[in-house]
Structure 1
Amino acid sequence: MLDIIALNKTYRTGDRALDDVSLTLPKGQVVGLIGPSGAGKSTLIRCINRLVEPSAGEVRLNGTALTSLSGQGLRQARRRIGMIFQEYALVERLTVMENVLSGRLGYVSFWRSFTRRFPGRDIARAYQLLERVGLSDHVDKRADALSGGQRQRVGIARALEQEPELLLVDEPTASLDPRTSRQIMRLLTEICRENELPAIVNIHDVLLAKQFTDRIIGLRAGKVVFDGRPEELTENVLTEIYGAEDWQAMRNGAMESAEDEADARAQATRLFETT
């Protein structure tokens, strides 16, 4: 379980990125974190694993106060938190398997990691995870030879290789096409439910958040302005989160993307029928 209690973040410029944020995330729940640019979504995720230092408040993961840790204690706690990035954060020249095994770097000695000699248990788990994310045929392929969706699947497997107690996911679909975005979100949510793994997903696509997450938290100017089930996310609530003008622009953009995807499918069907 993750507990966030009165979390605040104020930068040296005086900008307040988080304003008294509190929430509890139980085991197995997938939360979609939505809001306009600058709302504090990425800051919240990074304050949880202390990549950004909170100004005040507390973060507790299964009873451990993450905000009170330092040094080795913080490094050990971070091993329990899997992070999945928008830009994948893979080592391009390494293979898929080597990238996944990098999720164990916090657990093995320097020389094991330097020589890439991981324990057999870690290697066996990596194979299992690659099969689960649909990449068992790409084990020895370099990361720079993969598509965007495949790279994100490697990122998911790498995070799971840590055997985490929490997943933090920062805009996993922002660089992907609509079809691949749905596949990635479906894979993420299925894996979390299979493993009773709680997750916070910072996501820009409201429709994906409504379709795949168990709960949605809306941030605006660092404050929680909505916390509820996806079906409770009405037009009025979305207008409150994004503002009338921005929500209308986002809505129009989503409709155009859906129309473009439908046109592409229709063209592909016509092409198949004529061959």
Structure 2
Amino acid sequence: MLRLEKLTKTYRTGDKALNAVNLTVPKGQVMALIGPSGAGKSTLIRCINRLVEPTSGKVFLDQDDITGLSASGLRRMRRQMGMIFQEYALVERLTVMENVLSGRLGYVGFWRSFTRRYPQADVDEAFRLLDRVGLLEMADKRADELSGGQRQRVGIARALIQDPKVLLVDEPTASLDPKTSRQIMRLICELCAERELAAIINIHDVALAQMFVQRVIGLQKGVVQFDGKPDALTPEVLTKIYGEEDWKETTRSAEEAAE
């Protein structure tokens, strides 16, 4: 279980990206973060694994206080938090297999990772994950030979090989076409269900979030304005989160996709 207690991030300018956010994400739940640009969505995800240091508040994974960990303790804790990035964050010159195995860097020693000599169990798991995400035949291809959707699948496999307790997903479909976006969201949700993983997905596409996730959090200027089920995202709620707009088409698209 992931728990945030009064999580706050204030920048030197005095602007608050997050303002005392309280949030609990139970095991196995897939949750979407929505809100306008600058609402604090990416900051929230990065404060959880301390890629961005919170100004105050606490983050707990099960009973462990992440915000109170030393540098070495944080490195160990990050093994349990898989991160999936918008821009994939792959090493272009490495193969698909090598990129997936890089998810084990927190477990193997420096020299084994430097020489890319991973335990056979890790290699076997990487092959299994590549098969699960539909890329087994591309294990030896370089990352720069892949399409955007294929790169995101490599990123998913890399996060899962960490054997995490939670997935932190930052705009996984931002650079993808509509069909591939649905495939990627469906894959993430299926894998979370299979592994009982909690997941927080930062996503701009409201209709896409409504199609797949179990719970939606709406952020506005670092404050939670909505916390509920996707079908409760009425035009009135979306106006509260984003501002005035004709939201009928957005909610209609989500309803039609669900039918």
Q: SS state of the match for residue 74, structure 2? A: helix
Q: SS state of the match for residue 244, structure 1? A: coil
- 2:45 and 2:125 map into 1 onto residues whose CA distance is 27
Equivalent position of 1:80 in the other structure: 80
Cα contact 2:171–2:201 (8 A) shared by 1? yes
Equivalent position of 1:62 in the other structure: 62
Report the TM-score when normalising by structure 1: 0.90
- 2:135 and 2:99 map into 1 onto residues whose CA distance is 13
Alignment gaps of 5+ in structure 1: 259-275
The 5 Å alignment of 1:129-168 reads: 129-168=129-168
Report the TM-score when normalising by structure 2: 0.95
Equivalent position of 1:122 in the other structure: 122
Number of aligned pairs? 253
Equivalent position of 1:206 in the other structure: 206
- 1:130 and 1:242 map into 2 onto residues whose CA distance is 38
- 1:225 and 1:107 map into 2 onto residues whose CA distance is 39
2:41 maps to a residue whose letter is: K
1:29 maps to a residue whose letter is: Q
Q: Which digits, 9 at most, give the CA deviation of each residue in 1:31-78, with x for residues without a partner?
A: 000000000000000000001111111100011000100121011001
1:25 maps to a residue whose letter is: V
Note closer, same or farther for the CA distance 1:148–1:215 as it changes in structure 2 (3 Å cut).
Answer: same
Q: SS state of the match for residue 168, structure 2? A: strand
Equivalent position of 1:190 in the other structure: 190
1:129 maps to a residue whose letter is: L
Equivalent position of 1:92 in the other structure: 92
Q: How much does 1:239 deviate?
A: 0.6
Equivalent position of 2:220 in the other structure: 220
Percentage of matched positions with identical amino acids: 68
1:113 maps to a residue whose letter is: S
Note closer, same or farther for the CA distance 1:229–1:141 as it changes in structure 2 (3 Å cut).
Answer: same
- 2:64 and 2:18 map into 1 onto residues whose CA distance is 22
Q: How much does 1:251 deviate?
A: 5.6
Note closer, same or farther for the CA distance 1:82–1:112 as it changes in structure 2 (3 Å cut).
Answer: same
Q: How much does 1:249 deviate?
A: 8.5
Note closer, same or farther for the CA distance 1:75–1:35 as it changes in structure 2 (3 Å cut).
Answer: same
Q: How much does 1:19 deviate?
A: 0.6
1:73 maps to a residue whose letter is: G
1:23 maps to a residue whose letter is: L
Equivalent position of 1:21 in the other structure: 21
Q: Which digits, 9 at most, give the CA deviation of each residue in 1:129-180, with x for residues without a partner?
A: 0000000110000000000000000000000010001100000000000000
Cα contact 2:9–2:56 (8 A) shared by 1? yes
1:243 maps to a residue whose letter is: G
Equivalent position of 1:265 in the other structure: none
Q: Which digits, 9 at most, give the CA deviation of each residue in 1:230-260, with x for residues without a partner?
A: 0111110001000014xx48968x98xx9xx
- 1:52 and 1:203 map into 2 onto residues whose CA distance is 19
1:49 maps to a residue whose letter is: N
Q: SS state of the match for residue 53, structure 2? A: coil
- 1:249 and 1:158 map into 2 onto residues whose CA distance is 36
2:170 maps to a residue whose letter is: D
1:227 maps to a residue whose letter is: D
Q: Which entry has the higher C-alpha Rg, 1 or 2?
A: 1
Alignment gaps of 5+ in structure 2: none
Does structure 1 residue 178 correspond to structure 2 residue 202?
A: no
- 2:172 and 2:16 map into 1 onto residues whose CA distance is 25
Cα contact 2:235–2:248 (8 A) shared by 1? no
Note closer, same or farther for the CA distance 1:250–1:90 as it changes in structure 2 (3 Å cut).
Answer: farther
Runs of 4 or more consecutive aligned structure 1 residues displaced over 6 Å after TM superposition? none
Q: How much does 1:102 deviate?
A: 0.1
